[in-house]
A and B are shown apart, each in its own frame.
Chain A
Amino acid sequence: MAKAKGAIVVDTARCKGCGVCTTACPTKVIELAAEVNGKGYHYAYMANPDACIGCSNCGIVCPDTCITVYRAKAGATA
């Protein structure tokens, strides 16, 4: 199993489910949830967390800036 190097936290209440992050993710970590948030949008979530490399592409392209990106420092999760 691949060791996750990164992780994201989506502010699901702010997310509008545009899906731009899902196409920006190089490792296909993010999908839109089947459930909806308070605004009725299918919010983004980590469907495949083990693949996250912490590149921050999703956070950079998010128009609503609702993704915070974390990356483990080298060797920290070994």
Chain B
Amino acid sequence: MSDINTIIKPENIIYKKTDVLSENELHYCPGCSHGTVHKLIAEVIEEMGIQDKTIGIAPVGCSVLAYNYLEIDWQEAAHGRAPALATAVKRLMPENYVFSYQGDGDLAAIGTAETIHACNRGENIVMVFINNGIYGMTGGQMAPTTLPGMPASTCPAGRDVSHDGAPIKISEILAQLPGTCYVTRQAVHTAANVRKTKKALKKAFENQAANKGTSLVEVVSTCSSGWKMTPTKANEWMEENMFPYYPLGDIKDE
């Protein structure tokens, strides 16, 4: 053990919490992808040196309290209206970096209209989209993104496509709009994927600096509480079931 104590010295630190993340403990469930994505956004903001000019738009959903965790300015939007609020903030303060942070219930369900129109207008904002295929905060109900056959509290026998329709691939829809410059789908369940997601987020913020239009970073995520699995099992389930329907990679990059 003395060996370890010789390594644990400040000059040997290679990974630690960024100061852009606050000291508040995250309220999310164990293993929740939200925490990882919060951290990545904080790291990108720190690396780009834009902490004092970044404005986040918090959604409704589990991440409604996102403003407690990043030491930047925030606005809280009504349910689904984060892209509309982000539009207003960016147009009034074009020198600032503006991003919305939304889940699938917010971005792809109640806020579909705002999402599509903000992207169609090519608003110069970053949209971070956390897709776990379920309404996590309210108790695991079926969302528009719930996979065929996937059980949820409102469809315990699994989603029936003949009754409920097929899951919506919102990123593919948004990629067709001329206003979007960058649409990508990532995940944060392994270290390699976390690194890729961070790169994608950085690119999205750089696109905003270059006035290129709307950048959307979808992160396929887990909801271990809603899916009723352990966090590590949820990650495996996501790889087996979510990725075939929501394949990872860049959908549009202009």
Number of B residues with CB within 8 Å of any CB on chain A: 38
Chain B residues whose C-beta falls within 8 Å of the C-beta of A68 in the assembled complex: 13, 15-17
List the B residue with the shortest CB-CB distance to A54. B14
> Is there contact, CB below 8 Å, between B8 and A7?
yes
Chain B residues whose C-beta falls within 8 Å of the C-beta of A47 in the assembled complex: none
> Is there contact, CB below 8 Å, between B34 and A63?
yes
> Is there contact, CB below 8 Å, between B231 and A20?
yes
A63 in contact with B194 given A7-B7, A20-B232, A77-B7 (CB within 8 Å)? no
A30 at the interface (CB under 8 A from B): no
Q: Mark A7-45, 1 if CB is under 8 A from B, else 0.
A: 101000010111110111000000000000000010000
Chain B residues whose C-beta falls within 8 Å of the C-beta of A23 in the assembled complex: 232, 235
Separation of A42 and B16 alpha carbons in the complex (Å): 21
> Is there contact, CB below 8 Å, between B231 and A64?
no
A65 in contact with B7 given A23-B232, A60-B191, A73-B12 (CB within 8 Å)? no
B residues contacting A by CB (< 8 A) are 1, 3-4, 6-9, 11-17, 21, 25-26, 28-36, 39, 188-191, 194-195, 224, 230-232, 235
25 sampled A-B residue pairs with Cβ under 8 A:
A3-B3, A18-B30, A18-B31, A18-B232, A19-B31, A19-B230, A23-B235, A24-B190, A49-B3, A55-B191, A56-B14, A57-B191, A59-B16, A61-B188, A62-B35, A63-B31, A63-B33, A64-B26, A66-B17, A67-B15, A70-B12, A72-B12, A73-B11, A76-B6, A76-B12
For the complex of A and B, 5 pairs with smallest distance between CB atoms = A63-B35, A18-B31, A16-B30, A18-B30, A57-B191
